[in-house]
Amino acid sequence: MTFFSFLKTFSVSRLSWALLSGFTLFFILCSISFQHIMKLDPCTMCIYERISMMLLFVSALVGLIAPHNIIFRWAGLLGWGAMAYKGMTLAMEHVHYQTSLFAICEPLYFPEWLPLNQWLPNIFSAPGDCSEVVWSLFDISMPQWLVYIFAAYLIVWGLVVISQFVPAKSQNR
């Protein structure tokens, strides 16, 4: 069995989508614990990155519903790829805010019909400053870690998408 045929077989299993949803849920809970346990105020970009991770989680749940069904699997894959890409671009922009002297973060914006910062302020309010480095691990700031995390999601997503085009092996061998 080749690597891509293994990935295709694995992508049709509930375990693969459960792992994806588990990892994304872990990162969501980390961001909320940074806010409420470590008392680090999220900024506008932090909230947008959190939303990308939450939507990636929803995409994983879509794939988890029926991974054998091509529609659910591809809907999950498309959401996964879109949110990983969006999250990575947001995290890269956030890194720019932290490394540039002149970059200014825009205020948080939600549409009038979906004011998440008013409905759930404990999760979606953004009192922090985008340019401030409030946490780092191994001299890597939180948005830099998010670039790596979302990039890893994109790499795995790309491999899984490529595997979807591998022809099914005959069982008669």
Active-site positions read 43, 46, 50, 105, 130
Distance CA 153, CA 43 (A): 23
Distance CA 164, CA 9 (A): 9
Phi, psi of 141 (to 5 degrees): -75, 165
Two tokens at 63? 């794939």
Two tokens at 20? 């994806």
Distance CA 96, CA 141 (A): 12
Inter-residue contact 79 to 111 (CB < 8 Å): no
Two tokens at 15? 């375990």
Which residues are registered as beta bridge partners of 136?
141
